[in-house]
Structure 1
Amino acid sequence: MMRISDTVKHLIIINVIMFIGTLAIGSGNLFYEWFAMYFPQNDAFKPWQIITHMFMHGGATHILFNMFALWMFGSPVEQVLGSKRFLFLYISAGLGAVLLQLGFYYYQYYQASFGISNLGLSSDLVHSIVNINSVDGNYIVPEIFRKELIEVLTDSNYSGPQIDAATFGSLFEMNKVTLATMVGASGCIMGVMAAFGMMNPEAKLMMIFLPIPIKAKYFIPGIIILDLISGLTGQSFFSPSNTAYMAHVGGAVTGFLIMWYWKKTQFNRNRWN
C-alpha cells in the first residue's frame, strides 16, 4: 500500500477538520456562509473565501472521493516535487480553478445583463434583485424568485417598462449566478492529477464506473475534456449537475502550466526531473 506523504496527510486533516466544523457548528450553515466561495456580487462574499473554499466540502461523498484522489495522486507527486513545491502546485491549481470558474460566471452574468438594459434599473436595485434568496433546499426556484422580485420592485416604487418573460429570464439567470457557490478541493486535485499524468504518462488508471485500464496520458486529458464539455453545455457525465466544471479545467490547466515550466526551464533548481 502506498505511503501517504506528509503534506498530503496534513491537507487531508485540514479538510476533515473543516468538514466536521461544517457539520457541528451553526447547524451546518455557519461554516458554509463563512468559508464557501460566493460570487463577488453576492452579499455573502468575503475575500478569504478565495482560499478557504478549497478546504470545504458539500457532503460525505464529496470529501471522501476528493480525499481519496488527493492521497492516490498527491502522494507520488509530492515524493517527486518535495513538500514546498507540491504545496505551491496545490494552492496555485486551486487559485487557477477559482479564477476560471469566476470568469465563466461573470461571462454568464454580463451576458444575462444585456437582456435587462431597457428596464432602467439602478445599480442598487439590480444588486437587491440578484441577491434575492430563491433557494429551496438544493435548488434555485423561479417561483420563489418571481414572488420576491415583485416585493423588491414594489418596495423600490419601480415604474419602468413591464418585465416580460425574456427580461424575467435574464434577471433569474443573474440571480442564479449570484447565488452560485464553490466548495471543494477538486480544482487543486485536478492540478495534481495533471502533474501526475506528466510524470507518469504510461501509468494505467481506471474509473469506478468504467473499470477499464487507460493510460494516464489519455485518461487525464479525457477527464478534462469531459469537464470542459460539461461546463459549456451543462451536460453532466459523471459528476453531479451542480459541479463547478470550469474550476476543474482551471485547476488542471494551471497544474499543467506549472509542471511544463518546471520541466522545460533551463534552471536546474526549478526542474522536477
Structure 2
Amino acid sequence: MFNNIPPITRNIIIINIVVFIAAYLIPFLDLNLTGFYPFSPNFKSWQIITHMFMHGSFMHILFNMFTLFSFGPILEQALGDKKYLILYFLSGLGAFFLFNLWNFIEIQQLISQLKEMNIDVSEIYSSSDLRTYGYSRTAYLDQPLSRSLYEGLTGGMVGASGAIFGVIAAFATLYPEAKIGIMFIPVPVKVKYLLPIIIVGSVVLGVTGNVGGIAHLAHVGGAIVGFILAMIWKKHLYRFK
C-alpha cells in the first residue's frame, strides 16, 4: 500500500519518520533542528525548514502523517510535483512566520515590562543559550515575567502541522464540496464548512494561549498560504502536469 502513495507525499512521510527516530537516538539533534524564535541564541537559519520534520511525540507524528496521507496524494496528482512541493514548503514557512510574528509581539511586550522593573534582560538572553547552559535558571527566573521571556527564548516549534494545514486549506479551496468524516461527528461534513471552524478555533486558542504546547497560529499561517496558492492556481487546475 505504501508504494501506491505518490512519490512526493511518500518521501515526505519517510523523511519525517527517519528524523523522528534519529532525534531520539542522536544527542542534541533536536536542539539543532527545532525551530526556535529567530532572535533567540538557539536559533539557526536552517531551522526554518528543519522544524517541519521534527515532532514532539509519537501521537503528534502519527496524526500529522495520517492527515498528509489522507489529503496529500489527491493534491499531488492534481497539482503536479513542483506545485505540490511549493505548496507544502511555503505553507510551512508561512506557519513559521506567523507563529514567530506573534512571538515577537509578546516578547517585545515582556522586554518593555522587565526594563521598567529594572531587570537585566541581557542576562536572561544569555542564560537561555541551551548549547552552553542547558535548561538553567538565573536569579530572575522566579519572577513570572522573566520566566515567560526565558520560556519564549528556549521553547521551540516542531512539526509538519503548518505545512499540512496548508495542504488541507488547498484541498478545501479546490474541492469545497468534498465530504470528510471527523471524530465525534456522526455524519460526513463538507470541507468548505469544516475548515473555517478549525481556523477560527486555532486563532482563538493561539491568541488566548489556551491548550499549551500546540502552535495554533502556525496552523493558521500554513492555512493562509495554502488558501492563497490554491486560489491562484484554481483557474488552471486541469492544465497542471
The TM-score, its normalising length taken from structure 2, stands at: 0.89
Contact 2:114 2:121 in 1 (8 A): no
What letter corresponds to residue 24 of structure 1 in structure 2?
Answer: L
Moved over 6 A (4+): none
Deviation at 1:5, TM superposition (A): 1.4
Q: In structure 2, what is the Cα distance between the partners aligned to 1:134 and 1:233?
A: 29
Q: Which has the larger radius of gyration?
A: 1
Q: 1:93 aligns with which of 66, 91, 94?
A: 91
Gaps of 5+ in 1: 136-143, 153-164
Instruction: Give the 3-state SS of the residue equivalent to 1:201 in structure 2.
Output: coil
Q: 1:198 aligns with which of 173, 177, 191?
A: 173
Partner residue in 2 for 1:172? 147
Deviation at 1:117, TM superposition (A): 2.2
Q: In structure 1, what is the Cα distance between the partners aligned to 2:116 and 2:159?
A: 38
Partner residue in 2 for 1:187? 162
Deviation at 1:270, TM superposition (A): 10
Q: In structure 2, what is the Cα distance between the partners aligned to 1:79 and 1:269?
A: 11
Identity of aligned residues (%): 37
Q: 2:222 aligns with which of 239, 245, 251?
A: 251
Contact 1:109 1:174 in 2 (8 A): yes
Gaps of 5+ in 2: none
**Within 5 A, what are the aligned runs for 1:1-150?**
3-26=4-27, 30-120=28-118, 124-128=122-126, 131=129, 145=137, 148-149=138-139
Q: In structure 2, what is the Cα distance between the partners aligned to 1:31 and 1:211?
A: 42
Contact 2:37 2:156 in 1 (8 A): yes
Contact 1:41 1:127 in 2 (8 A): no
Q: In structure 1, what is the Cα distance between the partners aligned to 2:13 and 2:89?
A: 14
- Per-residue CA distance 1:104-157 (angstroms, 9 max, x = gap): 11111011112122344566334225558795xxxxxxxx84xx225x9xxxxx
Q: In structure 2, what is the Cα distance between the partners aligned to 1:111 and 1:211?
A: 44
RMSD of aligned Cα (Å): 2.7
Q: 2:194 aligns with which of 199, 219, 238?
A: 219
Q: In structure 1, what is the Cα distance between the partners aligned to 2:30 and 2:99?
A: 19
Q: In structure 2, what is the Cα distance between the partners aligned to 1:101 and 1:123?
A: 22
